[in-house]
Chains A and B, each alone.
Chain A
Amino acid sequence: MDILRFTTAGSVDDGKSTLTGRLLYDTGNIKSDILETISGDEGLNLAHVTDGLRAEREQKITIDVAYKYFSTSHRKFIITDAPGHFEYTRNLVTGASNVDVMIILIDAQNGITAQTRRHSMVASFLKLGKVVVAINKMDLSDYSQDVYERIKEEYLQIAAKLDLHNITFIPISALQGDNVITLSPKTPWYIGPALLELLETYKPPMHQYAGLRLCLQYRIDDNTFAGKILSGTLHSGDKILIHPSGQAATIGNIIHNYDNVEVAHAGDNISITLQEGIILKRGDIISHARDIPLTSDSFDADLCWMDSSSALDLQKTYILRINTAETECIVSDLKFKVDIDTLEKYSDKEPLTANQFARVGISMQKALAWDHTATLPENGRGILVDPVTNNTVGAFVILQA
């Protein structure tokens, strides 16, 4: 059994929390004492399951990400319940950064809104592998195929603009449970899976890249260094290169858990020694000589600004981080912004503020080793940290050197 991580994007009005509650409830994953706390005068309030903060329950909105866990006989699931409101887009970005699937909820009565476009923008920015467009409240639209088809057509135009490809549309009623766990007789015209069936069977693209990338985290003792294999396979005795310095070395021991192993694979957290006794450091990336990462001290990237207390300052030095590698940087060039309501590019004199997206050029104080997002997303993205407040202020995905 494996784990699938997914998020639901949409506002309370779209039935996002109700859908989460429905999935948990109908799969028997809400215990009776929790059920008691969400039962009120108007029956079961499934939305209340996920609103963990007092202010959220009072204001009836989701402010920050909540994580919920459930399982079926096929799979374990981690639900990232993320906020829908504009000012909390940055929390949606946080929540969606680790998911395999984003479910975008659209209220069938309202159709596509600015919010739908914004959430799709987040999916596009994060290069998510799968988007499910759940057209909700079909019960209030007489389960009309026309309504469904019209929204689907309109959404496909947005998807094309955002380069979103792997999309499944499902007509649902989170409140009534139609097409959530099982297919509903009320939508005989719908050919496709129920939402849960899709979530149980979807296979995320994993570890496709064959080239070795070992990212170093920590020096365990004099000669032993801990790190995670991002991609590829490492054998004891392999000739390797250390980036960004380019220094050559030979792998000695590979330790996985308590064992010395001959070979380790993508996803393994290992420790290694080098035969030459070279000292590795946090932030180094190890590869084979035949397929090395790119190394540069500048690149173009898509940037999401996440700090609500300061705007992007083109004169200011930030700390940039990719995996465990850090360096100082400046965002030297703001090429254009993307209007998250229209998805059009534009430029103005205003600085980039919280929840806005832009194409930028970044210049680093020293070169780092990275990969194209299409090759190895794990080594093609990072964060910016404000050196004064220490807050994480931006997230970026690299496009090209």
Chain B
Amino acid sequence: MNYLDILEAEAIYIFREVAGQFKRPVLLFSGGKDSTVLIHLALKAFYPAPLPFPVMHIDTGHNFPEALRFRNALVEKINAQLIVRKVEDTIREKNLPDPQGKFPSRNALQSYTLMDAIREFGFDACIGGGRRDEEKARAKERIFSFRDPSGAWQPHNQRPELWDLYNGRIREGENVRAFPISNWTELDIWQYIKREHIALPSIYFAHKRDCIVFQGRWVAVSEYVTPDINDEVVNTTVRYRTVGDMTCTAAIESQAQTVDDIIAEIEASPISERGATRIDDQISDAAMEDRKLKGYF
């Protein structure tokens, strides 16, 4: 079997295990490339029936408008139920401090909104596009990742997970995060996008944008990121290698217009995916682990 067929088969099997073992799963969808591939795989897994679960976006309010438009269009096209829960509402209801500063990241606050939504809808499984090759804490996580009622990951006490026997048994209030594309690399994702002709938001491809430089990375000027007096605003050709919040995702200089261009670019790139694009992970060596301990995706 070709490696893309192997990875696809593994993902479809996992999707069907989630549907077979849980009463109320949900697929987490942001409009990014990984969760878009997830949707594509889910459609295959359950064809000819529609998706047997809704899709949910935990909306930080700091999105790229292109990603939101893409999200809405795809959900409409596949006729899925879209649930949107906003971090802004959580901040107001819980009276939390809204992160301030030049790059106000609501990334960590998403965990509160996610856990509230899990309780509101009684979701027992959240299907996410996390990949082990993205980040070293993710590299440690099981495919069915058990979370206690607070959503916390217990990295030192993970359930054994043998062969393709995924144990989805939980008690009321607990939940499982399921990661069907755990074993895919960034390059696998793009090779699959190419093979399956999967459409993506335009910001993954080279375009002109007003940017400022922060810690050696290009950050787009937007309604959430205002340049200082010392910043030089440069209109340059960039693309996004990952799509997160406008406040914590950096663009990379790129001329890649097509999926083939992007594949060639990634193969030649000396920098890892998150290293090139994430401002939020530069804070500490354990930033992702810490977020997961608090219920993060």
Chain A residues proximal to chain B, CB less than 8 Å = 1-3, 31-34, 37, 50-55, 57, 63-69, 71, 76, 78, 90-91, 93-94, 97-98, 217-218, 220-221, 224, 226, 228, 255, 257-258, 267-269, 271, 282, 306, 319, 321, 323-324, 378, 381-383, 385, 390-392, 395
Contact = CB atoms under 8 A, between A and B. Distances in A.
Given A69-B183, A324-B20, 11 more contacts: A1-B3, A50-B136, A52-B289, A64-B155, A76-B3, A226-B45, A267-B9, A271-B48, A321-B165, A390-B167, A395-B160
Contacts of A395: 160, 162
Given A32-B271, A258-B47, A54 B285 contact: yes
Given A217-B20, A324-B20, A390-B167, A258 B140 contact: no
B252 to A, nearest CB: 12
A390 B171 contact: yes
Contact of B133 (A69, A228, A269): A69
B133 A220 contact: no
B24 interface: no
SS class, residues of chain B in contact with chain A:
loop
A390 B169 contact: yes
B13 to A, nearest CB: 6
B159 A2 contact: no
A269 B180 CA distance: 14
Contact of A383 (B49, B132, B162, B170): B162
23 contacts: A2-B2, A31-B272, A33-B275, A52-B139, A53-B155, A57-B285, A64-B140, A66-B140, A67-B139, A69-B132, A71-B187, A98-B164, A217-B16, A220-B48, A224-B48, A226-B16, A228-B9, A255-B48, A268-B9, A269-B45, A271-B47, A324-B17, A392-B162
Contacts of B19: 217-218
Contacts of B156: 53, 55, 63-64
B230 interface: no
B174 to A, nearest CB: 8
A164 to B, nearest CB: 19
A3 B5 CA distance: 10
Contacts of B48: 220-221, 224, 255, 271
B140 A323 contact: no
B163 interface: yes
B96 interface: no
Interface residues of B, number: 54
Nearest to B186: A69
Contacts of B6: 2-3, 267
Interface of B: 1-3, 6-7, 9, 12-13, 16-17, 19-20, 44-49, 52, 132-133, 136-140, 155-156, 158-165, 167, 169-171, 182-183, 185, 187-188, 269-272, 275-276, 285-286, 289
Contact of A391 (B1, B159, B164): B159
Contacts of B155: 53, 55, 63-64
A69 B136 CA distance: 12
A272 to B, nearest CB: 12
Nearest to B276: A33
Given A66-B140, A67-B183, A2 B3 contact: yes
Given A31-B272, A69-B132, A258-B44, A93 B16 contact: no
Contact of B160 (A69, A93, A324): A93
A2 B7 CA distance: 10
Contact of A53 (B170, B183, B289): B289
Given A31-B269, A54-B285, A66-B139, A382 B165 contact: yes
A98 B6 CA distance: 13
What are the 7 tightest A-B residue pairs by CB atom distance, in nearest-first order?
Answer: A33-B275, A52-B136, A218-B20, A390-B169, A31-B272, A97-B162, A217-B16
Contacts of B171: 390
Given A69-B185, A226-B16, A381 B276 contact: no
A299 to B, nearest CB: 17
A220 B136 contact: no
A336 B13 CA distance: 36
A98 B164 CA distance: 8
A66 B285 CA distance: 16
A33 B271 contact: yes
A328 B45 CA distance: 29
A271 B285 CA distance: 44
B49 A224 contact: yes
Contacts of A226: 16, 45-46
